Structure 1
Amino acid sequence: MNTALWIVAGLLAVGYLAGGVAMLALPKERFRAISDGQHYVDDFDAGAIKAIGAVKVLAAAGLILPALFDIAPLLVPLAALGLVLLMTGAATVRIVRREWRYVPVDLFFLALAAFVAWGRFSIAPFGG
């Protein structure tokens, strides 16, 4: 189970890091243009997009670095819970915008983050 949790956390970290860096580095209009599914950015100002990007980057770091360096490993499941909340908001925005096609993707990422949170809190927590 520990290996599965590391793999899922690693994949989530890579994905959220890439998305977060894109949100931080690109102007809002360019970020919207990079993918067909990024129309939700129309509901947020540029500052909110940057803030979401920062949350994604911090969550990616929180999924890996505390356990890797054995410094406050409790932050790993907390970062995963933060992603659960983020993806709950993402799915809600998609539902409000009636972007039904993307809701299952958001729920999939929510489930992966919930798996990491559950696993690191109860099944295979880090020692220390």
Structure 2
Amino acid sequence: MNLALWICTALLALVALAGGISKTFVPVEKLAAAHGGGWTGEVPGGFVRGLGVLELLAAVGLVLPALVGVGTVMVPVTAGCWVVLMIGAMVTHGRRGEMKLVALNSVYLALAALIVGAELI
């Protein structure tokens, strides 16, 4: 179970890292033109950047505490926050009719919920 949990956590951290890097450093106009990124053109740029920074922090919070063995409670807390973020992403993509992205976000939500659940046991 421990190996499976690490794999789920690493996958989720990579997703958070990729999303965080793109939302933080890629111009909003370019994000808005990308598949699934149209919502970024409808909100303030600072909001997009803020989400990007939060995703970068999530990538760190999912892995670092468990690696160093300090503040390990932050792993399930971060995963719980990711669940909330994915609910928002699912609502946003659902309103735009992007059902494939809703399904993808639900997979990320399930991974995060698994991490939270495993840490509570």
Residues 31 and 38, structure 2, Cα contact 8 Å, conserved in 1:
no
Shift of 1:3: 0.8
TM-score (norm 2): 0.94
Aligned twin of 2:20: 20
Give structure 1 stretches of 5+ with no counterpart.
123-128
Aligned twin of 1:32: 32
Deviations 1:96-123 (A, max 9, x none): 222223211111111111111111221x
Aligned twin of 2:115: 116
Q: CA RMSD in A?
A: 1.1
Kindly report structure 1 stretches of 4+ aligned residues shifted beyond 4 Å: none
Q: Distance in 2 between matches of 1:112 and 1:57?
A: 17
Q: Distance in 1 between matches of 2:13 and 2:51?
A: 15
Letter in 2 for 1:41: T
Shift of 1:5: 0.6
Q: Distance in 2 between matches of 1:52 and 1:12?
A: 16
Aligned twin of 1:95: 94
Aligned residues: 121
Q: Distance in 2 between matches of 1:14 and 1:37?
A: 18
- Greater shift after overlay, 95-104 or 44-53? 95-104
Shift of 1:40: 1.8
Shift of 1:63: 0.5
Aligned twin of 1:11: 11
Alignment of 1:21-100 (within 5 A): 21-33=21-33, 35-100=34-99
Give structure 2 stretches of 5+ with no counterpart.
none
Q: Distance in 1 between matches of 2:6 and 2:98?
A: 31
Shift of 1:39: 1.4
Shift of 1:32: 2.5
Q: Distance in 2 between matches of 1:90 and 1:42?
A: 15
Q: Distance in 1 between matches of 2:118 and 2:39?
A: 31
Letter in 2 for 1:72: G
